[in-house]
Amino acid sequence: MLSSVTAEVQDAILGEDPSEGALRTVGLSVLSLVASLLCIFLAPGFALPVLAAFVVVTAFGWRTHQAEIARLLTLVATILTVLTVTLITVYLFFSAFPAFTAHGIDLLTIPILESGPQWFFWLDFVLPTGETIWNPRAGVYSLIPLIWATVIVTTIAGLIAAPLGVLGALFIAEVASDRLREAIKPGVEILAGIPSIVYGFIGFKVLNGFIQKSFLDDGASFLIAGLVVGIMALPTVVSVSEDALSSVPDAMRDGSAAMGATSWQSMKSISVPAASSGISAAIILGLGRAIGETMAVAAILGAVVQPTVPLFDMFDASSTLTSAIAHNYGSATESTLDVLFVAGVMLFVIVAGMSVISQYVERRINRKLQGQQ
Amino acid sequence: MNNQIGDTDTDTDTNVSTDTSTDSQLGATTGVETSTTTTAGESEEQIRDEWTDYRFDSPAKLSVEDLNVWYGDDHALKDVSMEIPEESVTALIGPSGCGKSTYLRCLNRMNDRIKAARIDGSVELDGMEIYDPNTNLVELRKRIGMVFQSPNPFPKSIRDNISYGPRKHGEINKGLLARLFGRDDSEKEAELVERSLRQAALWDEVNDRLDDNALGLSGGQQQRLCIARCLAVDPEVILMDEPASALDPIATSKIEDLVTDLAEDYTVVIVTHNMQQAARISDQTAVFLTGGELVEYDDTDKIFENPESQRVEDYITGKFG
Ligand SMILES: Nc1ncnc2c1ncn2[C@@H]1O[C@H](COP(=O)(O)OP(=O)(O)OP(=O)(O)O)[C@@H](O)[C@H]1O
Ligand SMILES: [Mg+2]
């Protein structure tokens, strides 16, 4: 098994029958790289000189055996990336483990209100219930309010970003003139790149003030956070759906127009269905952004962890999974930190799950569109 | 009307090479009636009006007068006038880039969808001007159907491809409302699908898989599906732009038979690069030559056996083009 892998890697880098020189150069380069990696862990003092040796060897190899060295470098880059991500994941799960063993199912404690345990989708039959849900000093942590806050904020954001994003993409791809599109498309992409704290701050200052004045609410609510996050996810949804729509072949639109369909009918019955896999990917990507959004949410919702009462109250506020981490990691005790790692694991699982779902949806729709040969 | 963006002509790539030659000739070309544009191998001659003055007894289905098309500064079609008789096959032939597709697209106003195109002149369908600003494009394209050079079925089931047009025109209702009010047209749809597919000689091959995706069909089947789709809206005129160019000889001959059959009820205008095909299936042939001019238009037999123009003869016998 291992030997076949090495053989394959060797084949990929060196080709069928490598020359003596290539073998030596690549071998030396690999050796020095491995040595420098080992040094980082075992003898950090020597790491820099050995790394320099690797750079020199590789630079010389580049001049004599460029193709082989280039292939080696691409392989090294890939391995480093995969390794880093894997290690981070492992570390995350490892760090969350103590909290899992210490609290177990209590991490999902459902709050007890005056009228009894809070209705939470009948889950109080399986999950524990408790008076306090978040009290680091007493060592009581329930992630239920955080999860629920994340769900609410993401839902509001999705309700904003999905329809507006798809309609915006339709306008850019199908309705706008060439000139207009050339102006809007880059604009939207710039919006997608604005740092999220800017949105969070604007949301906090402008929307909060507006809601406080107009609705006599005390502000800082899920609604505002959801609005702001939805607007942040909007450019991503627009830009990815627009790409999907403009990759629908014009021949199909021509075909539809030649049948006497109006441009709205072509849009509705040809372009959107044909681009549906890309559009759903765009929405899921946007939702993923909304879930993972930290800074804006943290700025708006504050650090309180409390149950939402009543459950669907958009004007209530509580930290989400992400903003709880952002608020607490600096000042938390050891045991709180462990719980925050559990929140991290949950986010990881949710976002990974969404990405799997999006790929599944995309593949399914594509298969449907291309016919089952 | 149409806000569609981008180049909608699928043939454009193939015409790029001829673009420059057309451009360079523009400077030299001044008169329109007596143009002397040539490409290498073409002999010079003056086009005479009577060469394109084809007379027939039946009423004209389409009559085109002084049609000019520009793409930006590129004068792609020059003063074309021709009358197309009812219930017949008219072939358009000519070297690549001479404006055949452009001409064809003018007949159902598909050129409106090309931003760069400017059209001047008149096209009448049964005496009604189609370039009138009040023309209803939906109605027009219902009456004049089009089959494209490369098959472009919709990514839907075979059945939905056929019923697409009638459904968009409100002739078939299968929506929720229709079902609620007991006006579901499924039966009507099934009938229409079968009739159209039979007409396009595709029924026997696909009748057991009408719900399969149309993109799973072979190229030849896709093209016949596009023809069936076009027939489903029951047009009067069918425009075909090299419908067999991407197909093998067997599929091609099926399409040719189909075209001949269609001519009994429909007016067919077909662009082709294949002279034998034009000679086999058409009743009259129009020859366009480089520069976007209609050089000769007459009975197919006359064009292929005894053309008036030396250039047409050279083209048909394969001396250039
Ligand atoms: N969408 C377009 N934009 C700009 N110029 C165009 C466009 N379509 C066609 N042209 C130009 O118009 C001229 C005629 O093109 P057309 O496609 O009508 O030729 P054709 O006779 O159909 O050629 P072929 O036999 O290769 O299909 C060419 O010079 C071409 O470059
Ligand atoms: Mg063409």
Answer whether residue B106 shows pLDDT above 90.
yes
In angstroms, rounded to a whole number, what is the distance separating the alpha carbons of residues A159 and A146?
Answer: 20
* Domain membership flag for residue A103: no
Mean pLDDT along residues B76-98: 92
Contact A251 B140 (CB under 8 A): no
Supply the pLDDT for residue B206.
93
Q: Count the Cβ atoms, other than its own, within 10 Å of residue B253.
A: 14
Written as six digits, the tokens of A224 are: 């505002």
* Domain membership flag for residue A93: no
Q: Are residues A10 and A26 in the same domain?
A: yes
Q: A299: domain CATH number?
A: 1.10.3720.10
**Would you say A223 and A312 are in contact if contact means Cβ atoms under 8 Å apart?**
no
Ligand 1 contact, B11 CB (< 6 A): yes
Q: Are residues A224 and A365 in the same domain?
A: yes
**Would you say B143 and B234 are in contact if contact means Cβ atoms under 8 Å apart?**
no
Ligand 1 contact, B76 CB (< 6 A): yes
Phi, psi (5° rounding) for residue A205? -70, -55
Which has more confidence, B70 or A47?
Answer: B70
Q: Are residues A191 and A271 in the same domain?
A: yes
Which has more confidence, A91 or B7?
Answer: A91
Order of strands, edge to edge, in the sheet holding A116-117? A116-117, A110-113, A129-130
Ligand 1 centre distance from Cα of residue B137 (Å) = 23
Give the pLDDT band of residue A305 (cuts 50, 70, 90). Answer: confident
Answer whether residue B31 shows pLDDT above 80.
no
Answer whether residue B8 shows pLDDT above 70.
no
Mean pLDDT along residues A124-153: 88
User: In Å, how far is A248's CA from the nearest CA of chain B?
Assistant: 10
Answer whether residue B174 shows pLDDT above 90.
no
Domain that residue A296 falls in: 143-369
pLDDT in tens, B270-301: 999 889 999 999 999 999 988 888 989 999 99
User: In Å, how far is A235's CA from the nearest CA of chain B?
Assistant: 21
Whole-structure pTM value: 0.78
Domain limit, last residue, from A58, A76, A94:
A76
Q: Are residues A302 and A323 in the same domain?
A: yes
Give me the CATH code for the B19-33+42-153+235-316 domain, please: 3.40.50.300
Ligand 1 contact, B14 CB (< 6 A): yes
Domain boundaries, chain B: 19-33+42-153+235-316, 157-216
| C-alpha closest to that of B302 among B286, B291, B315, B318 | B286
Of B5, B137, B215, the CB nearest to A370: B215
Answer whether residue B127 shows pLDDT above 80.
yes
In angstroms, rounded to a whole number, what is the distance separating the alpha carbons of residues A331 and A337?
Answer: 9
pLDDT in tens, B187-236: 888 999 999 999 888 999 999 999 998 988 988 899 999 999 999 999 99
pLDDT in tens, B183-197: 667 888 899 999 999
Written as six digits, the tokens of A218 are: 């005390």
* Domain membership flag for residue A96: no
Q: Are residues A300 and A175 in the same domain?
A: yes
Which has more confidence, A13 or A230?
Answer: A230
Ligand 1 contact, B71 CB (< 6 A): yes
DSSP state of B74: E
| Residues measured by CB to lie within 5 Å of ligand 2, the ion | B 11, 101
Ligand 2 centre distance from Cα of residue B96 (Å) = 7
Mean pLDDT along residues A12-33: 83
For residues A67-105, one letter each, b for 16 or more C-beta atoms within 10 angstroms of the residue's C-beta and e for the rest, the string is ebbebbbeeeeeeeeeeeeeeeeeebeebbebbbeebee
In angstroms, rounded to a whole number, what is the distance separating the alpha carbons of residues B9 and A220?
Answer: 54
Domain limit, last residue, from A138, A157, A179:
A138
For residues B29-61, one letter each, b for 16 or more C-beta atoms within 10 angstroms of the residue's C-beta and e for the rest, the string is beeeeebebbbeebeebebeeebbebeeeeebb
In angstroms, rounded to a whole number, what is the distance separating the alpha carbons of residues A340 and A328?
Answer: 8
Contact B5 A174 (CB under 8 A): yes
Written as six digits, the tokens of A312 are: 């669907």
Q: Are residues A226 and A295 in the same domain?
A: yes
**Would you say B229 and B165 are in contact if contact means Cβ atoms under 8 Å apart?**
yes
Residues 6 or more apart from B26 whose CB is under 8 A from it?
Answer: B73, B74, B75
Supply the pLDDT for residue B1.
43
Give the pLDDT band of residue B21 (cuts 50, 70, 90). Answer: very low
CA distances from A322 to A7, A84, A340, A356, B95 (A): 44, 22, 9, 21, 66
Q: Are residues A126 and A201 in the same domain?
A: no
Ligand 1 centre distance from Cα of residue B249 (Å) = 26
* Domain membership flag for residue A333: yes
* Mutation choice for A interface testing from B141, B142, B168 by most A CBs within 10 A: B168
Q: Are residues A159 and A134 in the same domain?
A: no
Phi, psi (5° rounding) for residue A136? -55, -35
Of B6, B108, B115, the CB nearest to A258: B108
Give me the interface pTM, i.e. the ipTM. Answer: 0.79
Q: Are residues A162 and A128 in the same domain?
A: no
Ligand 1 contact, B148 CB (< 6 A): no
Ligand 1 centre distance from Cα of residue A177 (Å) = 23
Of B3, B8, B141, the CB nearest to A259: B141
Mean pLDDT of chain B: 83
Answer whether residue B99 shows pLDDT above 70.
yes
Chain B: residues touching A (Cβ < 8 Å):
1-8, 10, 108, 110, 113, 115, 137-142, 145-146, 148, 150, 152-156, 164-165, 168-169, 212-217, 226, 229-230, 233
**Which residues partner with B271 through β-bridges?**
B92, B241
With the most atoms of ligand 1 within 8 angstroms of its CB, the residue from B2, B13, B15, B101 to mutate is B15
CA distances from A89 to A24, A94, A286, A353, B132 (A): 36, 8, 23, 15, 67
Q: Are residues A326 and A242 in the same domain?
A: yes
Mean pLDDT along residues A65-69: 87
In angstroms, rounded to a whole number, what is the distance separating the alpha carbons of residues A283 and A161?
Answer: 8
In angstroms, rounded to a whole number, what is the distance separating the alpha carbons of residues B220 and B214?
Answer: 12
Residues of A with CB below 8 A from B8's CB? 250, 253-254
Contact B148 A251 (CB under 8 A): yes
Mean pLDDT of chain A: 87
Give the pLDDT band of residue A370 (cuts 50, 70, 90). Answer: low
* Domain membership flag for residue A329: yes
Ligand nearest the Cα atom of residue B105: 1
Domain limit, last residue, from A30, A59, A76:
A76
Which has more confidence, A359 or B183?
Answer: A359
The upper half-sphere exposure of residue A353, i.e. CA atoms within 13 Å in the direction of its Cβ, equals 7
Strand ranges, E, within B148-276 = 237-241, 267-271
Ligand 2 centre distance from Cα of residue A370 (Å) = 27
Mean pLDDT along residues B81-109: 93
Phi, psi (5° rounding) for residue A75? -65, -45
Give the pLDDT band of residue B43 (cuts 50, 70, 90). Answer: low
* Domain membership flag for residue A254: yes
In angstroms, rounded to a whole number, what is the distance separating the alpha carbons of residues A256 and A246?
Answer: 16
With the most atoms of ligand 1 within 8 angstroms of its CB, the residue from B10, B73, B92, B101 to mutate is B101
* Domain membership flag for residue A98: no
Contact B115 A371 (CB under 8 A): no
Which H or E element spans position B92? strand B89-93
Mean pLDDT along residues A279-285: 90
Q: Are residues A58 and A116 in the same domain?
A: no
Written as six digits, the tokens of A290 are: 């909304």
**Would you say B140 and B211 are in contact if contact means Cβ atoms under 8 Å apart?**
no
Query: Structural domain tally of chain A?
Result: 3
Phi, psi (5° rounding) for residue B67? -85, 125
Q: Are residues A210 and A175 in the same domain?
A: yes
